[in-house]
């Protein structure tokens, strides 16, 4: 990494949202009619979804040249039969692919095995396995209990279930996406993590004509009840927003360098919860301007904050880096569940902050950062985690002697990340 010669003053163009792209791919596959995704993300996670849907009989035609994907919806009438043989879906490292396609697989007549690489095999799947069994699906665990690989077969006969939401919102999103076809009443835990991601799922479902009802919790020990159904009809074209999680790195870059970065087509009208990271930067002292379709951040005198990132946990590594450049203590809470993401996103940021001379410690559900001076250069470990790589690369915009181990792991969601950083020069 080479530090910037001067603070950035630019508008950054970002790829489409991974979270939206994968939700739209699944919904379009289950819809009646053909859907064209424009400005879609082309990365390992979305390609895993395209390939997985293809294995299950859905025709998806990607065109990376113009950022489009054409999906021929099957109306949940998969072109298979019990005699057609077992389908094998390789979800690679994609949590959304595995957790969204498990319920979809239970809509097929033929059995489906869903697997992934060693990293994904280590991530928990037990909550979704239990929920699918409650709905009548057949689920066989072929390896360690509660982990991939699993063999699934339909039909889904139940119309209601509950799910404990302390580990990931992806389980509930997968059930809801399939439930848009079968009809489903899903009771959430009293305090599910990453609620904005569930709101994103429901927004995509509404765009495809599904019926969605959200009943608020009736007591402190009960959660919301989400009722969905009615099936999907293609809207024709779905324009994917830029990725708000990816935006966090560039907004953070403006904050720590004292520069200015503007991102267009992403603002207060976004269906992505991670746009709220801009509000966190504002609390820390950055100058932030947000309108319906743009976000602009200019650096300021940064100060530490005490903040709960439960709803925008993907930005935790990014905030850890920003905290290293702030005066005062930053305390992050509400994210104990991210220890089971692609890496331990509580322990990892703490280890890497210590590596560059910043005092940091883990807590039960987050971390504390106590900077006394600027970070020093270091070779940062990524733990094969794209978000760790992208976050800690930001230190190299300010400090000499920074390198990133395994920078290629960013291909999971943002293959062009390091090239995009050059837009800041």
Q: Could you list the active site residues?
A: 314
d(CA 45, CA 314) in angstroms, rounded, equals 15
- What would the two tokens of residue 323 be? 């905290």
| Other Cβ atoms within 10 Å of 157 Cβ, number | 10
Please name the residues in contact with 34: beta carbons below 8 A apart, sequence gap of 6 or more: 70, 71, 72, 73, 234
Q: Give the DSSP letter of residue 422.
A: G
* Cβ(276)–Cβ(229) below 8 Å: no
- 204-208's contacts with Cβ under 8 Å and 24+ in sequence apart are 204/20, 204/23, 204/24, 204/27, 204/271, 205/27, 205/176, 205/177, 205/180, 205/232, 207/27, 207/235, 207/238, 208/27, 208/28, 208/31, 208/180, 208/232, 208/233, 208/234, 208/235
Backbone phi, then psi, for 261, in 5-degree steps? -130, 135
d(CA 355, CA 388) in angstroms, rounded, equals 14
């Amino acid at each position: 990494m080479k530090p910037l010669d001067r603070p950035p003053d630019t508008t950054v163009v970002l790829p489409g949202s991974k979270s939206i792209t994968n939700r739209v791919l699944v919904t379009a596959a289950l819809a009646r009619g053909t859907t064209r995704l424009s400005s879609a993300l082309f990365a390992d996670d979305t390609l895993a979804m395209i390939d997985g849907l293809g294995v299950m009989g859905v025709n998806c035609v990607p065109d990376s040249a113009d950022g489009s994907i054409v999906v021929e919806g099957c109306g949940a009438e998969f072109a298979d039969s019990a005699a057609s043989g077992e389908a094998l879906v390789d979800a690679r490292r994609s949590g959304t692919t595995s957790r969204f396609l498990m319920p979809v697989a239970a809509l097929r007549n033929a059995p489906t095995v869903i697997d992934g690489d060693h990293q994904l095999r280590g991530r928990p799947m037990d909550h979704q396995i239990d929920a699918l069994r409650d709905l009548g699906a057949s689920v066989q665990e072929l390896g360690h209990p509660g982990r991939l690989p699993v063999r699934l077969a339909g039909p889904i006969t139940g119309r209601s279930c509950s799910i404990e939401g302390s580990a990931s919102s992806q389980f509930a999103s997968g059930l809801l996406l399939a439930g848009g076809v079968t009809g489903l009443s899903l009771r959430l835990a009293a305090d599910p993590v990453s609620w904005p991601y569930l709101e994103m799922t429901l927004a995509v479902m509404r765009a495809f004509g599904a019926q969605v009802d959200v009943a608020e919790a009736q007591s402190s020990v009960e959660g919301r009840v989400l009722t969905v159904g009615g099936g999907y009809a293609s809207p024709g074209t779905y324009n994917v927003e830029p990725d708000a999680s990816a935006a966090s790195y560039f907004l953070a870059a403006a904050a720590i360098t004292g520069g200015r970065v503007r991102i267009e087509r992403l603002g207060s009208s976004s269906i992505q919860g991670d746009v709220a990271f801009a509000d966190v930067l504002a609390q820390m002292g950055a100058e932030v301007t947000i309108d319906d379709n743009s976000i602009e951040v200019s650096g300021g005198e940064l100060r530490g904050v005490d903040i709960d990132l439960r709803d925008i946990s993907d930005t935790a590594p990014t905030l850890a880096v920003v905290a290293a450049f702030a005066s005062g203590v930053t305390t992050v809470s509400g994210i104990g569940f991210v220890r089971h993401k692609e890496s331990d996103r509580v322990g990892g940021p703490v280890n890497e902050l210590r590596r560059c001379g910043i005092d940091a410690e883990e807590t039960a559900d987050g971390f504390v950062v106590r900077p006394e001076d600027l970070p020093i250069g270091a070779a940062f470990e990524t733990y094969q985690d794209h978000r760790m790589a992208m976050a800690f690369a930001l230190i190299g915009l300010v400090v000499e002697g920074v390198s990133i181990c395994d920078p290629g792991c960013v291909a999971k969601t943002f293959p062009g990340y390091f090239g995009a950083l050059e837009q800041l020069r």
